[in-house]
Amino acid sequence: MTSILILYHSQQHGNTQRMATAVADGARAAGADVTVHNGNDGRFDVETYRSFDAAAFGSPDYFSYIAGTLKVFLDDWYIAKGQNPTGLVDKPLVLFYSHGGGGAVKRPLETLFARLGHQMGKTVESLGAPSGRVLEACQELGRQLAEAAQAASG
Ligand SMILES: Cc1cc2nc3c(=O)[nH]c(=O)nc-3n(C[C@H](O)[C@H](O)[C@H](O)COP(=O)(O)O)c2cc1C
């Protein structure tokens, strides 16, 4: 069974969390083993990232940038990669974000996470609470990611 990590930050309204849950539902429905972590609950150990076949990353727009916990993950990832890149590069990944009407986080989100692997599908966005359509798009992202993970794991 392929393993997928969904790492996100959600704090204010739970908007990004709802998106993360929908991505997880889609990936599980496609047969993947899914681990979900909200950076707001604590620092994610970058060493465990090595063992996942694929990953989804989601952030709220905070001052037109990603949330601090995801930035910390990227900092940890960069330092760990310098020591040993095994399992830290070239994974399939998908991206999602929520915002309050600006949404300029899209660019830094895509640019920063492009370092980690190959983005599958298009980044899914939600203005405020995710609509049914947004949640469906998130489920579809999860399905796509599970298929890519299966192909990547051989
Ligand atoms: C500290 C902070 C900064 C924010 N900055 C922006 C911003 O620059 N642009 C924007 O569109 N929304 C901004 N927002 C709104 C959030 O992106 C939006 O409410 C988001 O859906 C919250 O996600 P969550 O409910 O998963 O925590 C900000 C919210 C907070 C708490």
pLDDT digits (tens, 9 = 90+) for 80-112: 999 999 999 999 999 999 999 999 999 999 999
Query: Which pTM does this prediction carry?
Result: 0.98
Query: What local confidence, expressed as pLDDT, does residue 89 receive?
Result: 96
The DSSP secondary structure of 4-24, one letter per residue, reads: EEEEE---SSSHHHHHHHHHH
Alpha-carbon span 104 to 18, nearest angstrom: 20
Residue nearest to atom 12 of ligand 1 (CA): 100
Mean pLDDT of the chain: 97
Q: Which residues contact 34 (CB under 8 A, 6 or more apart)?
A: 3, 4, 5, 6, 24, 27, 28, 142
Question: Which mutation among 13, 98, 99 tests ligand 1's pocket best, with the greatest number of atoms within 8 A of CB?
Answer: 99
E strands along 1-148, which residues? 3-8, 33-38, 54-60, 91-99, 117-119, 124-127
Query: What is 3-153's CATH topology?
Result: Rossmann fold (3.40.50)
Q: Is the CB of 150 within 6 Å of ligand 1?
A: no
Confidence of residue 152 (pLDDT cuts 50, 70, 90): confident
User: Using one digit for the tens of pLDDT, what is the confidence trace for 114-142?
Assistant: 999 999 999 999 999 999 999 999 999 99
The pLDDT of residue 153 is above 90: no
Helix (H, G, I), strand (E, B) or coil at 52: coil
